[in-house]
Amino acid sequence: MTQPKSDLAYLRSEKAKAEQQLRYYKHREKILEHQIPELTRKARVHRLCTRAGMLESFLIAPEELTNDQVMEL
């Protein structure tokens, strides 16, 4: 009759391990969900800066132009 008790202890141990893993992966999911907008924002900023640099290379003396003057072009 000792066999069912050890099986029960084993199952409880496995359940505790599974619950701990579940907590870990839920926390990991939360971290990754927060990283998505940050990475998206960084990619957008990089794209905007790169393209702005490309467009500015076509201007003559871009540092002398105001934002309004650039908008009129």
Q: Does the model's pTM come out above 0.85?
A: no
pLDDT number for residue 2: 52
DSSP state of 54: H
Q: Identify the burial level of 65 via C-beta atoms within 10 angstroms of its C-beta, where 0-12 means exposed, 13-18 middle and 19 or more buried.
A: middle
pLDDT number for residue 1: 45
Inter-CA distances, 23 with 10, 28, 29, Å: 20, 9, 10
pLDDT number for residue 37: 94
Please identify every stretch of the chain with a pLDDT value under 50, giving residue numbers as ranges. 1
